[in-house]
Chains A and B, each alone.
Chain A
Amino acid sequence: MRRLRILLAAAAAAAVAALAAAAVPAAAQTPATPPPATMVPGVLTVGLNLPSDGFQVGAVSGTTVTFARGLEVGLAAAVGRRMGLPVQFVNVPVFSDIVAPGPKPFDLALAQVSITSGRKQNVDFSAAYLDVDQGVLLRRGLGTTPTTLAKLKPLQLCVLQKSTGAAVVASRVKPAKPARTYPGVTALFQGLETGRCDAVVYDAPTLAVLAAEVPLRVGSMAGVIATGERYGAVLPDGSPLVKTVNTVVRGLIADGTVARLQAKWLNVNLTTLKTLS
């Protein structure tokens, strides 16, 4: 079925090219661009990992995304428009599956994935669309706000399993009590809201969105731990779309689309936060 569609598309492209060749002088001739080689022809399949405040929230039936909104949802739509393709979302319930080796159910995935050399061995990344550091969000009523990494040591810290935050806490904060690890962000934030955690170390934009969205449920942002991470779109290893997606992402940064999406969905100013060291 898929092979047939590709053949038909190729035949159509050849016909268009032949017509073009007949109609215009050779000097002005441009080869007809073949449609991007996507997993499902004619559609850009975008992987998500719902939910994440500000970036992507929605509704799923199995892995089918029936409704979604957020920065990365808007970004996917913009990428699709640039590539001339409608976007179909697919939810990947387990985050680590996105960056694991092996075949993927998407052409590209947007899920706040930091570009790391380790992950690059399994998957390809697009150009970065967002610079991020790790944030430290306190529980409500903690009392004094820690101003250095050393002052985080005595606190009950909480992190997401296998996240950058978990790595940063282990290598740079070295807390007195082991950090509590949670399998998902919903449980992680509930730990903070119910007071089981003194502070959560997680991607700063997400924490800042949470603090702005539900100010009475959480405390303040103590600051950020500089890690210099960058979010990129994940593509299957060796994807033929990497070049195209890179061009599109750079174009969306250059024309201000990404900045507009940030202002709309994150609506937080991270530059005013203290860098903890």
Chain B
Amino acid sequence: MTHPWRALVACIAVLSALVWTASAAAATKVSFVQGEQNVFVTRPGDGLQSALQSLLAGPTAAERKTQIRTYIAPSTPVLSVTQQGAVATVDLGDTFVAGNNADTLNARLSQLVATVTAVPGVTSVQVLIDGGVPLGLFPGIDATGPLTVAKLRTPSVAPPPNPVTPSGPVTGGTKAAQQRLADLGYLLPGDADGRLGPATTAAVIAFQKWEGLQRDGVLGPKTLAALGRANRPTPITQGGSGRRLEVLVDKQLALAIQDNRVVRALHVSSGKPSTPTPIGSFKVYAQYPRWWSTPFQEWLLWASPFVGGVATHQYPDVPVYAASHGCVRVPAPNAPWLYRFLSVGDPVRVLATS
């Protein structure tokens, strides 16, 4: 004998199992930032609201350990979310644009646009702040209409100019010091031309970093004396034959190594304390002579990414300390050389201490 209520209970059980399976299978893509690029992570749930909630919640502890980060404050109020056709409209409280830092404002926008347009059926998003269309809040980006990822991925700046070649006078003393820097692996032999310029300055800084001298890039008495008795740098770790790169975060130096011999030691600037370069063993996974940073809307030339958006790349400003968004900045005179030295698959080891 069957009771009708039993059938009902069974029915509900089956239904809820179906719903549970559906929601367990549903996944949403959420955009964070790693190094200089947006990266997607997956979260359970589906739909716009769910994606936005996951975006505001930020990366997990495990993701944060690999330097995946968010620029959006978790307290950002979501005032309304609507969709008309393939255009989503997301109205956020002004917490979203708090602060006055051009970099982080554009990074927040890139995360929002990438996350919302990753929801199936949505191709663009109109961002509103307190119900209004943004005017001038995202430097260099016209956010008055619906935005697509393709638009943010389209470079809005002309590529940076080629570095200037040195034009100072040739001196014998400079040439001798340059020759010595080239013999030790700090300068390309072709750059030992007797003229002071960016290539020599970068080589001197690299030398000063390895030797623990003051990093001023000048061939002063202490640097010249050290140059006389120095040896070629040696790898910190042992590796197999072939090409590899060691990034020494404590020395802010990169060692380009072939068959366990340092071919060149390069002055670099890695991630600043708030956005450090992830420590660990990686492999170059792609190479781009010109890489456009979507979150920061800037050019990265001669880029060899080795994990997520973290790459070695040329940058106009390479200070003697850690200053980047997580990438390894290489000065203009050395960047094309390093790009050609590395190939996809080459090991990159980032070491905290050397």
| Inter-chain contacts of A195 with B (CB < 8 A) | 158
Are B129 and A67 in touch, CB under 8 angstroms? yes
Interface of B is mostly: loop
Which A residue sits closest to B101, measured CB to CB?
A: A213
Contact residues, A202-222 vs B (CB, 8 A) = 213-214, 216-217
- Sorting the interface of chain A by its residue count into under 10, 10 to 19, 20 to 34 or 35 or more gives 20 to 34
| Inter-chain contacts of A65 with B (CB < 8 A) | 132
Asked whether A59 and B157 contact (CB < 8 A) given A50-B136, A67-B94, the answer is no
Which B residue sits closest to A54, measured CB to CB?
A: B100
Distance in Å: Cβ of A158 to nearest Cβ of chain B = 14
Distance in Å: Cβ of A259 to nearest Cβ of chain B = 18
User: A74 to B157, alpha carbons, bound, how many Å?
Assistant: 31
Chain B residues within 8 Å of chain A by Cβ, number: 27
Interface of A is mostly: mixed
Are A60 and B156 in touch, CB under 8 angstroms? no
Assess whether B177 is interfacial by the CB under 8 Å rule.
Answer: no
Assess whether B298 is interfacial by the CB under 8 Å rule.
Answer: yes
Are A140 and B158 in touch, CB under 8 angstroms? yes
| Inter-chain contacts of B157 with A (CB < 8 A) | 140, 193-194, 216-217
User: A239 to B232, alpha carbons, bound, how many Å?
Assistant: 78
Interface string of B118-132 (1 = CB under 8 A from A): 000000000011111
Assess whether B161 is interfacial by the CB under 8 Å rule.
Answer: yes
User: A111 to B179, alpha carbons, bound, how many Å?
Assistant: 59
Asked whether A59 and B132 contact (CB < 8 A) given A53-B139, A67-B94, A186-B142, the answer is yes
Asked whether A66 and B130 contact (CB < 8 A) given A58-B135, A194-B157, A195-B158, the answer is yes
Assess whether A61 is interfacial by the CB under 8 Å rule.
Answer: yes
| Inter-chain contacts of A194 with B (CB < 8 A) | 156-158
B interface vs A, CB < 8 Å?
94, 97, 100, 102, 128-137, 139-140, 142, 156-158, 160-162, 297-299, 316
Known: A57-B136, A216-B298. 13 other contacts (CB 8 A): A53-B139, A57-B137, A58-B129, A58-B132, A58-B135, A59-B130, A59-B137, A60-B133, A66-B130, A141-B161, A194-B157, A213-B139, A217-B297
